[in-house]
Amino acid sequence: MSTAPARTTVGVIGAGPAGLLLARLLHRAGVDCVVLESHDRAYCEQRQRAGMLEQATVDALHAAGAGERLAREALRHDGIELRFDRRAHRLDFPGLTGGRYVWIYAQTEIVKDLIALQLKDGPPLLFDAEALAVDGLDGERARIRYRHNGAERTLTCDWIAGCDGHHGVSHAAVPGAVTYEREYPYSWLGILADAPPSSEVLVYAHSPRGFALHSMRSPTVGRLYLQVPNGTDPGDWSDTRIWDELDARFAIDADWRLTRGPITAKAVLPMRSSVTEPMRHGRLLLAGDAAHIVPPTGAKGLNLAVADVVVLADALTAAHRTGDTALLDAYSATCLDRVWRAEHFSYFMTSTLHTDPDQTAFTTRLQLAQLSRIAASRHAAAELAENYAGLPIDRPTP
Ligand code: RFL
Ligand code: PHB
């Protein structure tokens, strides 16, 4: 498991969902690869992040042979609820999208499933192996210089998949790349609570006190978020203060109660939109958060990462089998179409539901007009539902 090969076809940097799924898809296609991950296994498996999966993401996990536990434990949702003006509006996804659903299955569980498969039958996955630099991207062979067990080593590869997230080394290694970015003037305080969900579906609440989201991890564990100012110290939020604030933001003029329970985790998460173009330079291909970040309000980050690696696995497999790089040449443009659609949707959800520190009565009225339109018009609701449930992954063929 932790021997360090010096040569491989695809060197994958990062064992998040993008790197792990790519490795799995390549392995099943007979393409050898090595995954280098800077942290240890426990860190990768415990990092609390996404929870909402599009159908295309679930399909990709099944196609990779990683869907066994997901099939038993994932919760199928037939929509979401929007709250504003003390009213609740349910969006019925199958009715609005021609039969599509979304799924709740935590990113931590996807990562655990993929790591278990990888350690069982390969390809090699090295923890505590930090990529320091990549080079040779324009030549015959590319190289990853990395540190493992205190020693510096080199992995020589035909291709490098940069799946090392927003703070990794890959996206900075694309010369001439342009990064389009936006930071938001608010963050999320996220909690995990031993409290059964108080709603069957996710609840996105616009309120004069700021945004709140009710999500879940299982029939007994809730995952909830509150908009808070940037720089908030989670230590300033006692459990009672959190529950009181959630109660106030979810309040509607109908009988509804938020079930409280012990809070087991608390963290503040900043929000950002970012796209690096192009997603390829020579032998280096970027995928997932290494290439793009979305604010979590649209639940798109993990789903985009999965869509990238599905396209990338096809392209690397074709190049390996036939030497034809047409799909790799098209990779960046293929992915960026979907990425920019998701960037727009995530920005739309974020700016429609949050209270800006510079918010005026005028901008609040605009937000409420937009939300009322979604509640009243089937067309406006269908636009949101289609984007949220996600489109099928466009997989060009050679
Ligand atoms: P990751 O998960 O950041 O993994 C990158 C991995 O690379 C490693 N690494 C390195 N390894 C070797 N050498 C180096 N130099 C390295 N530098 C970094 C890191 O240790 C790490 O293991 O990126 P990946 O695989 O692209 O996956 C992306 C997703 O994690 C991310 O988009 C989602 O979590 C975003 N997201 C959501 N996405 C959804 O689709 N649905 C959701 O419901 C959803 N909710 C969320 C979210 C993200 C959130 N946060 C914390 C920003 C909710 C939240 C609160
Ligand atoms: C989550 O369950 O963590 C989650 C769900 C939907 C979002 C963001 C986060 O939009």
Residue pLDDT, tens place only, 150-164: 999 999 999 999 999
pLDDT at 112 over 90: yes
* Residue 218 forms part of a structural domain: no
- Report d(CA 142, CA 328) in Å as an integer: 15
* Residue 51 forms part of a structural domain: yes
What percent of the chain has pLDDT above 90?
Answer: 94
Rounded to 5 degrees, φ, ψ at 63 are -65, -25
Identity of the amino acid at 241 = R
pLDDT at 2 over 60: no
Decide if 300 is catalytic.
yes
Predicted confidence (pLDDT) per residue in 51-101, tens digit? 899 999 999 999 999 999 999 999 999 999 999 999 999 999 999 999 999
Which CATH number fits the domain that encloses residue 107? Answer: 3.50.50.60
Distance from Cα 119 to the centre of ligand 2, integer Å: 28
State whether the Cα torsion 247-252-258-264 is positive or negative.
Answer: negative
- Report d(CA 231, CA 30) in Å as an integer: 47
Distance from Cα 202 to the centre of ligand 2, integer Å: 8
* Residue 93 forms part of a structural domain: no
Of residues 334, 328, 321, the one with CA closest to residue 395: 334
Note the pLDDT of residue 392.
Answer: 85
Distance from Cα 299 to the centre of ligand 1, integer Å: 12
* Residue 346 forms part of a structural domain: yes
Q: Identify the bridge partners of residue 310 per DSSP, sorted by sequence position.
A: none
* Residue 33 forms part of a structural domain: yes
Decide if 219 is catalytic.
no
The predicted model gives 366-384 an average pLDDT of 98
Q: Catalytic residue among 124, 197, 295, 296, which?
A: 296
Q: Catalytic residue among 146, 184, 204, 331, which?
A: 204
Predicted confidence (pLDDT) per residue in 231-252, tens digit? 999 999 999 999 999 999 999 9
Pairing of strands 280-281, 284-286: antiparallel
Decide if 270 is catalytic.
no
Residue bearing the bigger pLDDT, 1 or 25: 25
Residues with CB under 6 A from ligand 1: 13-19, 36-39, 44, 49-52, 107, 130-131, 163-165, 168-169, 190, 269, 288-289, 296, 299-303, 305
Mean pLDDT of the chain: 96
Distance from Cα 213 to the centre of ligand 2, integer Å: 8
Q: Which residues contact 296 (CB under 8 A, 6 or more apart)?
A: 50, 188, 225, 269, 271, 346
* Residue 394 forms part of a structural domain: no
Domain that holds residue 308: 7-77+103-181+272-357
Predicted confidence (pLDDT) per residue in 332-352, tens digit? 999 999 999 999 999 999 999
Note the pLDDT of residue 1.
Answer: 45
- Report d(CA 244, CA 377) in Å as an integer: 33
Count of domains forming the chain: 1
* Residue 284 forms part of a structural domain: yes
Provide the pLDDT confidence category of residue 321 given band limits of 50, 70 and 90: very high
Q: Catalytic residue among 206, 281, 300, 320, which?
A: 300
Report the nearest-CA residue for atom 7 of ligand 2.
299
Contact 125, 118 (CB under 8 A): yes
* Residue 237 forms part of a structural domain: no
* Ligand with smallest separation from the Cα of 269: 1
